[in-house]
């Protein structure tokens, strides 16, 4: 499907309300954008139609939101951002390390944080939940770190999460609603 036909089917054109224009003078001309006919979410700016050609190619026309939608063409729920796109159907799997993986419990979330922050030029990586409910991650920069000034120093980050809301961990989509959830989790993971 060509992009213009696609946008005519799924979107309305309206002046933007996204940053940095949401607080602009109401009399000032704001750029026009495409917004989903399904839920009013942002799709792309007028003039940048080619940036969403991948949606038109897959004919993601049903329940189109900012980052999730269904393609009747191939019967898949898709999740995407500017970084990646992937389609899910019954039988799709979710495993640790996948973009759409959501930790199943607190310990799983700590392991996810350790895996995410471990890597090149980091040693002695630790992760623990503090009383503020945030997982604090720390590491030491090794002697191969390109920035010589920070070699041997301690670095760190806060891994924010909602301890009340966990995902399913590893699982298989058994229904199209499950596939839709995987697409939403993928969107969150790559955004």
Output the pLDDT for position 183. Answer: 98
What is Dmax (Cα atoms) for the chain?
A: 57
pLDDT tens track for 45-97 = 999 999 999 999 999 999 999 999 999 999 999 999 999 999 999 999 999 98
ω into 28 cis (within 30 of 0)? no
pLDDT tens track for 102-114 = 999 989 988 888 8
Report the predicted TM-score, pTM, of the whole model to 2 decimal places.
0.81
Count of CB atoms situated within 10 Å of the CB of 93? 12
Q: Are 112 and 118 in contact (CB under 8 A)?
A: no
Structure-model confidence comparison of residues 134 and 48, the more confident one: 48
Output the pLDDT for position 100. Answer: 95
Structure-model confidence comparison of residues 164 and 30, the more confident one: 30
Q: For residue 15, give the nearest of 37, 38, 51, 42 by alpha carbon.
A: 42
Q: Could you tell me where the DSSP H helices lie in 31-134?
A: 53-58, 106-117
pLDDT tens track for 112-128 = 888 888 888 999 999 88
CA pair distance 179, 160, nearest whole angstrom = 26
């Amino acid at each position: 499907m060509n992009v213009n036909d696609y946008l005519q089917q799924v979107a309305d054109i309206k002046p933007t309300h996204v940053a940095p224009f949401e607080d602009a003078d109401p009399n000032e001309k704001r750029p026009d954008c495409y917004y989903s006919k399904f839920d009013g979410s942002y799709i792309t700016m007028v003039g940048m139609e080619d940036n969403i050609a991948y949606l038109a190619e897959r004919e993601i026309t049903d329940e189109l939101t900012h980052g999730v939608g269904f393609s009747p063409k191939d019967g898949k729920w898709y999740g995407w951002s500017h970084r990646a796109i992937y389609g899910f159907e019954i039988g799709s799997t979710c495993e640790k390390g996948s973009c759409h993986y959501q930790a199943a419990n607190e310990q799983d979330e700590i392991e996810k944080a350790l895996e995410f922050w471990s890597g090149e030029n980091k040693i002695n990586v630790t992760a623990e939940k503090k009383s503020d409910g945030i997982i604090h991650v720390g590491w030491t920069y090794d002697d191969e770190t390109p920035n010589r000034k920070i070699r041997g120093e301690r670095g760190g980050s806060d891994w924010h999460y909602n301890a009340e809301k966990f995902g399913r961990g590893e699982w298989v989509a058994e229904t199209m609603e499950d596939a839709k959830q995987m697409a939403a989790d993928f969107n969150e993971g790559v955004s």
